[in-house]
Structure 1
């Protein structure tokens, strides 16, 4: 062990910590010292400029606290009984209980004793997480998992003959587990065969800054950080923990970053049972890394996996063949309208979850961090919602009366509107909707287009016959008889003629129900539309 006379900090504990690092073959650049910064706690600060490519700090293998080290510290009957995470946490608890007798005592002294991670939140703090994926219930799930590990570990210690079991309290285990969640690094950074976290003293002293460029240098005896860029004097030296959203930062580290460029929000969507034809297409789709979780970002918006799934789920039977060939593209205006509307519904429901609690101004760091998380997630959701609403409005405006038809569009035809007025005593859209007659009026209009062989619709009807063959059981005698022959007598120029039959009306009604879709061209205005597109 090398003995160093260098002063690392005015604080005795932190100075001893620096001495311990370098005395055990670690390294701290001569222009780095430990200082307290109100916004981030204890930080590493430069006392002079540091050129680019300079080694900043290193941690020797002697200082690592890994699973291999935990196995050497704890009884083999214990580590063979519990999982690796439990072994690591109990090993850290053991070293804390040893106090000054522990090799890691200088390191343990400078570790925080309390955290701003959600498991340390009060009930008032947890209210700020309502609506987030990291909800109070998710926090309690994590607590239950860790508490289960702790209880299992206590039993394993008793079985191993440990006498000081009572010292391994839940509070101590929670502290140890939080140390590993907030300060550890993946073990495979050093050895690809290691799949458990490792504590690297001194490397874990650098706070996080998104996009900060740091180079890892992994040797046979140490792990080091090198600066990619030059660092000025009198500034904090940062690490980059990777592209982590605020949910991960808060749960693991106890802080959030306003306007975090890596911020995401997860939509959990369980894929419903699929028809055989849908299931075949679903197999060809790209699926999310975590089943049923789709991550939205502010810049990228909806992930392709979510869009393609919704296009499949909202596709009409007539669109399935098109999806087989182009599962990642919009196959029709109708399909895109339906997809975007379902996204509106999903996002709106997610946003409503944030509104179930009334919040006051945050009064501590925990509440402020949680508010940063919820605000960032709400911003992403509102941006996605706005995009979908704008897409629906734009498509509807562009295609209404051309390829997209609603009850309002239908009644703009003066000949048909007069016939409806004669039969239903009104052709006013709102009155027809209020009387719940919009579906039957729409079906009558489609029948009229079929009977008159309207050239704008003939191709679509031919296509529908291929998808929905006319069958005898489709007939709707009761509905037909409620309208005819009175309709033919009231408006013979539209509803007269032998071609008006219950069979035709039943077939058109079936097509109408399968091919139609709800959309919301304006917020709060829900309309049913039919598209006469014939995409190839």
Structure 2
């Protein structure tokens, strides 16, 4: 290894001096690479174009000595038998350091070294960094750039980060002034914002110092390390590299062959575009590790909020898990175990489980499982209701989010700078994630609405083909649509059976064939009477479902009819009767029950139902009296699912958004 002696570009003079400075302190750069610069990639590391062959994997392209690293260890003047970390002229009171913690100490230490200018030890490194006023993350967007991120989650994320950093800065600078430290006025908010952004975008984990720091002094997190030169290569998702810590240095090793002229990339980890944008100021088009972060806003008195409170009672250590992994992945996301269910490969398990708890009914919440790591509805008979309800709810959210993103960009001109370009990449990536996830959710709901096909491979492919044919042409690239098909076909679904969501008229198909037409005729007769005498009952989906449920329950309770019923219907009705006990008269008369009393009196089918062909019910069965109607109304409210009506058509709509819904009743398969 040697210095980059062939580096003569005057625009890279500072970087050439940085290389020489690192080498003077015991570092090295492979003679197979060079620092280069262009408009699209900026300053980057590149394999020399005139090499006869690729550099092989396991090549160490950069070696940075630990002695030039910058971290909290320098701020405290840490020493161990394996190494020392000098303060280099910035000496904060140790009591202040202990009060504010490693993160703020690192930011103020970087500020102090920057203020030292050319006299500072790290000056050759600091002069190659973006200077205050040159950073491009959304925190530094000017007025002409802000329009490009309106309608996205970036403004809110930026405001929240500023709020947190302002609080930390105010606390740290107040304590520093109280300590009597000189020149506090030079440690400004603007400089703190720059230093915090540099650390956020460039710092490595303290694990890179494991060769020089005693194991007991090496925390798992909280301490960040700046590594001159190693932080120069650009990020590339899935790049095969390794940071290898030694006793005296840290090496950047490529774990794949890199051809002459190709860029040598770093890998910051599976960062999504929001993280890249907020922390580094750029986005990647087609980022395979992109995902959308969802903020649920869980209320304390909600089912999920109560479950979380119970989780903390049972497992106090769960309070350490402050990050909620509520993500929607893009269809190319690579880090999925082979056994991951199809739904979890798009909606993270934490998000999916949270949504099912939020959308579960009372009986499903009896099957709530709370562990230290998970809150979920246990799979079992009847519990797919929460899955369909969750998928329907996230579908409405996906449609709204996607259409709002598009609407907020309608008046934007063509991009004129990198901030605009990366904002556009971010926005388009979010739309792609939304619309891809909507196809997945719609697929699951379509299976629930499919009563004619089974679950064979051919049936699945035919139903999927029909669904994809309805998706508007041109909204998603063909390769993305192909990948979605692969996601659906290659992974098992949490929903194992089709045909569990019924519209009103479809419920009669649960009866034996000879009972279906008479039951429908009877229902239409009841509906006609209700329309004339109790109009609200004839237009309310919950009340209409309740009427059909009453008919099905009475049929089940009829000794003559029960033996003729399919096992699926008998199993479901018995399940409902077990899960929802009939209210007693002593429970009082509520307003809905009074309405049902009026409804039952107006309809009174006992005298004419047999004439419609429903002759298996006795006149005195009371199958449509107020008590049964009220009971069935409660059941319908718990077991209904409101699903989107034509969700793909909404994506094509312009102007005001109108999301139509249709009511379905959940009837589980055996």
Tell me the TM-score normalised to structure 1 length: 0.86
Aligned to 1:493: 611
Contact kept? 1:282, 1:309, Cα under 8 Å: no
Partners of 2:3 and 2:28 within 8 A in 1: no
**Distance change (3 Å), C-alpha of 1:486 and 1:340:** closer
Structure 1 residue 202 displacement after superposition: 0.9
Shift of 1:403: 5.5
SS at match of 1:484: helix
Partner of 2:463: none
Alignment of 1:67-216 (within 5 A): 67-71=72-76, 72=87, 73-76=90-93, 77-113=95-131, 114-133=134-153, 135-191=154-210, 193-194=218-219, 195-216=222-243
SS of residue in 1 equivalent to 2:663: strand
1:497 match: secondary structure: coil
Aligned equivalents of 2:167, 2:385: Cα separation in 1 = 51
Residue in 2 that maps onto 1:466: 578
Q: Which residue in the other structure is 1:382 paired with?
A: 435
Q: How far apart, CA to CA, are the structure 2 residues paired with 1:490 and 1:28?
A: 94
Structure 2 contact 294–326 (Cα < 8 Å) conserved = yes
Cα separation, partners in 2 of 1:302 and 1:330, compared to 1, 3 Å: farther
Q: Tell me which of 237, 240, 248 is aligned to 1:221.
A: 248
The structure-2 alpha-carbon separation of the partners of 1:146 and 1:394, relative to structure 1 and needing over 3 Å to count, comes to: same
Shift of 1:291: 4.5
- Please point out which of 643, 646, 656 is paired with 1:519: 643
Q: Is 2:73 the partner of 1:62?
A: no
Alpha-carbon shift at residue 157 of structure 1 (Å) = 4.2
Tell me what 1:406 maps to. Answer: 503
Is 2:557 the counterpart of 1:445?
no
Contact 1:396/1:521 (8 A) holds in 2: no
Residue 246 in structure 1 maps to residue 343 in structure 2 = no
Shift of 1:485: 6.0
Structure 1: 5+ residue runs without aligned partners? none
1:433, distance to aligned residue in structure 2 (A): 9.1
Q: What CA distance in whole angstroms lies between the structure 1 residues aligned with 2:128 and 2:106?
A: 19
Deviations 1:374-417 (A, max 9, x none): 21122112111121112212221227997543223258854344
Shift of 1:244: 1.1
Among 506, 510, 520, the alignment partner of 2:630 is: 506
Alignment of 1:283-302 (within 5 A): 290-299=322-331, 300-302=345-347
The structure, 1 or 2, with the larger RCO (C-alpha pairs under 8 Å, 6+ apart) is 1
8 Å CA contact 1:323, 1:331 repeated in 2: no
Contact 1:311–1:330 at 8 Å: present in 2 too?
A: no
Q: Secondary structure at the match of 2:127?
A: helix
Is 1:362 aligned to residue 415 of structure 2? yes
Aligned-pair distance for 1:222? Answer: 0.7
Does the 8 Å contact 2:289/2:330 carry over to 1? no
CA–CA distance in 1 between the matches of 2:96 and 2:594?
76
User: Counterpart in 1 of 2:601?
Assistant: 484
- Quick check: 2:206–2:223 contact (8 Å CA) kept in 1? yes
Structure 1 position 258 matched with structure 2 position 361: no
2:28 matched residue in structure 1 = 27
Distance 1:399 1:439, change over 3 A: farther
Shift of 1:107: 1.3
Q: Give the conservation status (yes or no) of the 8 Å contact 1:57–1:202.
A: yes
State the secondary structure of the residue aligned to 2:394: helix
Q: Cα distance, 1:184 vs. partner?
A: 1.3
- Correspondence 1:338 to 2:389: yes
How many equivalent residue pairs? 529
